[in-house]
Structure 1
Amino acid sequence: MLDEDGHFGESVAARYDESSAEMFAPDAVEPAVDVLAELAGAGRALELGVGTGRLALPLSRRGVGIHGIDLSRAMTDRLRAKPGGDAIGVTIGDFATTRVPGSFSVAYLVFNTLMNLTTQDAQVDCFRNAAAHLGPGGCFVVEVMVPDLRRLPPGQNTVPFHVGSTRLGFDTYDVATQSMSSHHVEVEGGRGSFRSIPFRYVWPAELDLMARLAGMRLRERWDGWTRQPFTSESRQHVSVWEKPGG
């Protein structure tokens, strides 16, 4: 799991909301909150990787009880400083293994954060941890990209995702290990900076097997939060696995 000093420390937390502004826009937030509030019902929600509260805060305003787990104190300090942040419980720890008291109707992990777990074992542990927090009939929801390997011609392992006058971003892939890294180059005031973040990409079918190992079954899979059909052309998915007994 990425540690707060390595990839999500103060320098990243200070700019996170601004750098991810498109994910804080109402058309990105509201459909996700609609789905999660529906699944939570009268129960509680657990956010794995709660960060600065992009979804936790609007869910809390809907009346859903929220608890979040995150490894980064710098990120959760931003959450606590926002209006309504004091209503959200936060536990500092690795969301793949950290347990919190109580039972939840829904646990969720969004915005590709599952890939911050850089080994298959850690991802399996995350599914088991989510299932352990759910009551009977509870759901685990994951939003994550579909690996974009079709953009890799033979002999190439790099795909750009942003090319601008002051910022360059590109991903590198190792298809043998399913490891990848996102690299960010920025130029500001005539000075350059470089940041690299490791990930492990994962296929939908592999996630279904992880869910089965944790005692859950696939209930829904969509292209996105507005519940469009998932197809072979989808570049991301929102998947819902259910714990038996509801």
Structure 2
Amino acid sequence: MEDEDGYFGESIAATYDESVADMSRPDVVNPAVDVLAELAGDGPALELGIGTGRIALPLARRGVPVHGIDLSRAMAARLHAKPGGDAIGVTIGDFATTRVAGTYAVAYLVFNTINNLTTQDAQVACFRNAADHLEPGGCFVIEVGVPDLRRLPPGQSAVPFHISPTRWAFDTYDVATQAMSSHYVTIVDGRAEHSSIPFRYVWPAELDLMAQLAGLRLRDRWEGWARTPFTSESRRHVSVWEKPSD
């Protein structure tokens, strides 16, 4: 992962909330907070990749103590500037390996953030790090899309996901390495500006094996936060792995 001066530095942090406005609507956020608050119970929560607090702030308002890990000081500064944000501690570091004090009832990674770890080794390390932070019986939760490879005809490596008069966005895939990148082309004053962010896509079964290596076991998998069943047609999943209490 690149440092806070790279992919998630000030230039991204300054407009991040605006760019994810659709993901910040109450009908999107509240179901996620409902699940996480239920899993936390009376215990604290740890958000990996806490960003500007889209989930952490409303979860904290439910009375759940939240701590976060994030690589970007710029994103954390946006969180702390919001009402209630100064009560949420953030440790700056790579969430795959950074340790914080204490244990947690739930640790969570939302909105495809596991894919920001661009190697399998880093994703495996993230599961181990999450498991090490959990109390017995605690849960690790990931929300991530299912790789959209069925939309790739032979010889094609790109899948568009947004097209408008002023903005085009598409993902590119390397099926040999599971590397992918999201590309954004924006028209500003008649000129095209391009940016891209690298990811590594990961399959549900692969995540389950990572969890097993970390000593966790699958408890639930849904299509989304409303807990609808996960099927072969699902475009994303919310998965919950539990740390054994015995």
Find the counterpart in structure 1 of residue 59 from structure 2: 59
> CA–CA distance in 2 between the matches of 1:199 and 1:27?
27
Please show how residues 125-144 of structure 1 align to structure 2 within 5 Å. Answer: 125-144=125-144
Q: CA shift at 1:2, angstroms?
A: 2.9
Write the deviation string for residues 103-125 of structure 1: whole angstroms up to 9, x where unpaired: 10000000000000000000000
Unaligned stretches of 5+ in structure 2? none
Using the TM superposition, name which of 188-197 and 198-207 deviates more: 188-197
SS at match of 1:23: helix
Alpha-carbon distance in structure 1 between the residues aligned to 2:60 and 2:46: 11
What's the offset of the Cα at 1:191? 2.7
Match of 2:227 in 1: 227
| Aligned-partner Cα distance in 1 for 2:75–2:86 | 14
Partner of 1:117: 117
Match of 1:172 in 2: 172
Mapped partners of 1:97, 1:169: distance in 2: 31
What do the CA deviations read for 1:130-164 (whole angstroms, capped 9, x no partner)?
Answer: 00000000000000000000000011111111111
Q: Deviations over 1:52-77 (max 9, x none)?
A: 00000001100000000000000010
What is the DSSP-based 3-state SS (H/G/I as helix, E as strand, rest coil) of the residue aligned with 1:111?
coil
Q: Work out the CA distance in 2 between the residues paired with 1:181 and 1:6.
A: 15
Within 1, Cα distance between the matches of 2:3 and 2:173?
22
Q: Does 1:210 align with 2:202?
A: no
Q: Which amino acid aligns with 2:166?
A: T
Identical counterparts, % of pairs:
77
| Contact 1:2–1:117 (Cα < 8 Å) also in 2 | no
Q: Deviation of residue 189 (structure 1)?
A: 2.0
The aligned counterpart of 1:16 is: 16
2:81 is matched with which residue? 81
Q: How far 1:6 moved relative to its partner?
A: 1.4
Distance in 2 (alpha carbons) for counterparts of 1:232 and 1:160:
21
Give yes or no for contact 1:49–1:113 (8 Å, CA) kept in 2. Answer: yes
CA distance in 2, matches of 1:2, 1:235: 27
Partner residue, 2:102: 102
Separation in structure 2 between the aligned mates of residue 238 and residue 51 of structure 1, nearest angstrom: 19
The Cα offsets for residues 188-207 of structure 1, whole Å up to 9 and x where unpaired, read as 22232110100000000000
Task: Give the unaligned 5+ runs of structure 1.
Answer: none
The residue aligned with 2:196 is 196
Matched-pair contact (CA < 8 Å) for 1:2–1:116 = no
TM-score (norm. length: structure 2): 0.99
> What does the per-residue CA deviation read over 1:80-107, in whole Å, with 9 as the maximum and x for residues that have no partner?
0000001101100000000000010000
Could you give the per-residue CA deviations for residues 209-236 of structure 1, whole angstroms, max 9, x where no partner exists? 0000000000000000000000000000
Separation (CA, whole Å) in 2 of partners of 1:243 and 1:85: 29
* 8 Å CA contact 1:184, 1:194 repeated in 2: yes
Q: Distance in 1 between matches of 2:4 and 2:195?
A: 14
| Residue identity matched to 2:154 | P
Matched AA of 1:176: A
RMSD: 0.7
| Partner in structure 2 of residue 157 of structure 1 | 157
How many residue pairs end up in the alignment?
246
- CA distance in 2 between counterparts of 1:211 and 1:41 reads 22
Aligned counterparts of 1:130 and 1:2: Cα–Cα separation in 2: 20
Q: 2:220, 2:3 → 1: CA distance?
A: 32
Distance 1:196 1:59 in 2: 30
